[in-house]
Structure 1
């Protein structure tokens, strides 16, 4: 097996660090805070006995998001698979589009 040059190893390491940094920044900024209007809406509907507040992604919402993604990909003539995960990275829904290969 051929050894990689020092330059290749440094560039690969830098790309990996940049990707991890971008992922961490995105995760932190995505969960940084909730919109200011949400508590007011909850307070206004607090008397409603049917009110349920959840911070978890429902199966219905995940399925709707995955189907919307498949529809958008189909309009672009792309064959993709879609996986929706919760905030912990656990798979909630996985859909494979028509014609998408097993590697997608």
Structure 2
């Protein structure tokens, strides 16, 4: 098996770190208490089992994950760009590190 270059390993690790950081953001959002809703509406929906809860990655969480990834890459002296996407694949945040080329 061919050994991967340092650059490939760092980029792979960076992408994995971003994915993990994004997952923690989603888990944190799921752990948060739901927003207060009128008691009658929740009670009626709960009785009919029609409740649906959807969580989304916030811009703040996505930016924090992207910045952490850029910081980790900078420690490894890598110049990268980072994109954080939601579960549908839509871009939430894109950051380009200092010195990163347009192809990154």
- TM-score, structure 2 as length reference: 0.51
Inter-partner Cα distance in structure 2 for 1:56 and 1:78? 30
More relative contact order, 1 or 2 (CA 8 Å, 6+ apart): 2
Inter-partner Cα distance in structure 2 for 1:54 and 1:79? 35
Give the aligned partner of residue 95 of structure 1. Answer: 95
Aligned residue pairs total 62
Taking the TM superposition and a 5 Å limit, the aligned residue runs for 1:43-58 are: 49=36, 54-58=54-58
Runs of 4+ with >2 A deviation:
none
Give the aligned partner of residue 78 of structure 2. Answer: 78
Inter-partner Cα distance in structure 1 for 2:54 and 2:72? 28
5+ residue gaps in structure 1?
1-29
CA offset digits 1:49-99 (Å, max 9, x no partner): 49xx75111000000000000000000000000000000000000000000
Inter-partner Cα distance in structure 1 for 2:86 and 2:94? 12
How much is the aligned-residue C-alpha RMSD, in angstroms?
2.8
5+ residue gaps in structure 2?
1-22, 38-52
User: Are positions 1:61 and 2:61 aligned together?
Assistant: yes
Give the aligned partner of residue 10 of structure 2. Answer: none
